[in-house]
């Protein structure tokens, strides 16, 4: 196996005295692990930071073998690690990706979106500018793993142009009129997820995180994976303080 491609660093684990096993998100092959010789050295530690874009070269004699991985920095997001909100967002996005995706399966849409969200975190003037993108990434990840929410029509046949809720059972949107009598049992659907409100306020952003959080916890982040929810909760707490 030989692959030379750009990749996003998602997780790094020390291995042996000086090496590291890095899990990178690639466009061609999805999440791929590899052994980086000297990965914990002074030279490579700043390269193998979650969120960084690297040029990665994987080499393995057989597909079942852990590949030898060499990396060169393409774009560093290290300066963001000194800022609490951006660093927490990067931590959550990369942790979620590394923890949930099966290895060796291509998810080009996730790769492209992850890089776009990381770039938004890096360039937006405030967290309000990038927080909705984090929610959209969570929705996409749910969909790519087979747990898509259907936000295109009303589950009860109501007005598809006035969707206001999501059924926690069917994962399908519900219109305002059809859902009003059952509002306490439904999840609010913020307008920016259905095409409106291009610049949502903090209340809608909070609703978006509650929506995706419900389905992530129900369908994906179960068992041992539930432990990573602490990082997500920390991000939401810091976003609330920022708002």
Domain ranges of the chain: 2-76, 79-151+189-242
Which residue matches tokens 């009860």?
A: 156
- Residue 89 has what pLDDT? 98
What is residue 185's predicted lDDT score, i.e. its pLDDT?
97
Residues of the chain with pLDDT under 50: none
Q: Is 142 helix (H, G, I), strand (E, B) or coil?
A: helix
Contact 35, 65 (CB under 8 A): no
Whether the CB-CB separation of 135 and 200 falls below 8 Å is answered with: no
pLDDT value at residue 65? 83
Sequence-distant (≥ 6) Cβ neighbours of residue 136 within 8 angstroms = 113, 117, 193
Helix (H, G, I), strand (E, B), or coil: what is residue 75? strand
Of the candidates 185, 189, 196, the residue with the CA atom closest to the CA atom of residue 154? 189
Q: Which CATH superfamily is domain 2-76 in?
A: Nucleic acid-binding proteins (2.40.50.140)
Q: Do domains 2-76 and 79-151+189-242 have the same CATH topology?
A: no
Chain segment 19-28, per-residue pLDDT in tens: 899 999 999 9
Select the CATH number that applies to the domain covering 79-151+189-242 from these four: 1.25.40, 1.20.1440, 3.20.20, 1.10.3470. Answer: 1.20.1440
Q: What distance in Å separates the CA atoms of residue 176 and residue 119, rounded to the nearest whole number?
A: 35
DSSP 101: S
pLDDT of res. 209 = 98
**Burial classification of residue 185, based on how many CB atoms lie within 10 Å of its CB (0-12 exposed, 13-18 middle, 19 or more buried):** exposed
Which pLDDT score, from 0 to 100, does residue 197 have?
A: 65
104: left (phi over 0), alpha (psi -120 to 50) or beta: left
C-alpha distances (whole Å) from 89 to each of 73, 94, 164, 243 are 21, 9, 27, 15
Tell me the sheet residues that pair with 70.
57
């Amino acid at each position: 196996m030989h692959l030379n491609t750009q990749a996003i660093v998602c997780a790094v684990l020390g291995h042996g005295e000086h090496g590291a096993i890095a899990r990178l998100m690639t466009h061609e092959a999805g999440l791929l692990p590899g052994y980086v010789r000297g990965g914990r050295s002074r030279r490579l530690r700043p390269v193998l930071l979650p969120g960084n874009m690297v040029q990665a070269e994987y080499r393995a004699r057989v597909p079942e073998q852990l590949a030898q991985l060499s990396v060169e920095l393409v774009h560093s997001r290290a300066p963001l690690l000194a800022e609490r909100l951006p660093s927490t967002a990067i931590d959550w996005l990369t942790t979620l990706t590394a923890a949930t995706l099966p290895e060796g399966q291509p998810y080009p849409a996730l790769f492209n979106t992850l890089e776009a969200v990381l770039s938004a975190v890096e360039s937006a003037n405030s967290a309000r500018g990038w927080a909705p993108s984090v929610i959209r990434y969570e929705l996409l990840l749910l969909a790519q793993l087979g747990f898509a929410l259907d936000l295109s029509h009303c589950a009860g046949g109501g007005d598809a142009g006035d969707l206001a809720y999501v059924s926690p059972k069917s994962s399908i949107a519900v219109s305002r009129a059809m859902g009003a009598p059952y509002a306490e049992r439904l999840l609010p659907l913020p307008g920016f997820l259905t095409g409106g409100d291009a610049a949502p306020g903090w209340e809608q952003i909070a609703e978006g995180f509650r929506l995706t959080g419900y389905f992530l916890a129900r369908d994906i982040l179960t068992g041992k994976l539930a432990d990573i929810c602490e990082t997500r909760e920390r991000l939401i707490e810091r976003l609330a303080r920022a708002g």
